[in-house]
Structure 1
Amino acid sequence: MKFPEQYRKAVEKSADTAGLPIGIIAAQINQESGWGPKAVSPVGARGIAQFMPGTWEE
């Protein structure tokens, strides 16, 4: 899956940390926000990965 180059290092690090293929992380982000860093859901999830604020803190 192609994704914005500016996020490559973060996606690679996230995939390594989670023990998941890069494509899974990229697909999740693509589905949740379309790579929009200012994305906010109606229930409060934020950013490209659409984490809820409490989840992000963990």
Structure 2
Amino acid sequence: MSGPRPARLRDGLCGEYLKDCGLSRHGEVEEVAALAAWHAIENACVTGQTMMVDGGL
């Protein structure tokens, strides 16, 4: 996710992640919120699933 990163992440780790990430960028809070809203409001037929929000890894 974009924004401040936890202090425990070493320098360069985010860059290494982005090299392997399908989107080549950090996710946005709004993208996760859109999935949660769709699942809670518009979805009537998906149950018992895990929705992966991992940037295409």
TM-score strictly above 0.5 = no
Q: Give the structure with higher Rg (CA).
A: 2
Looking at secondary structure, tell me which structure has more helix per residue.
1
With a CA cutoff of 8 Å and minimum separation of 6, indicate the structure with the bigger relative contact order: 2
Q: TM-score, normalised to structure 1's length? A: 0.30
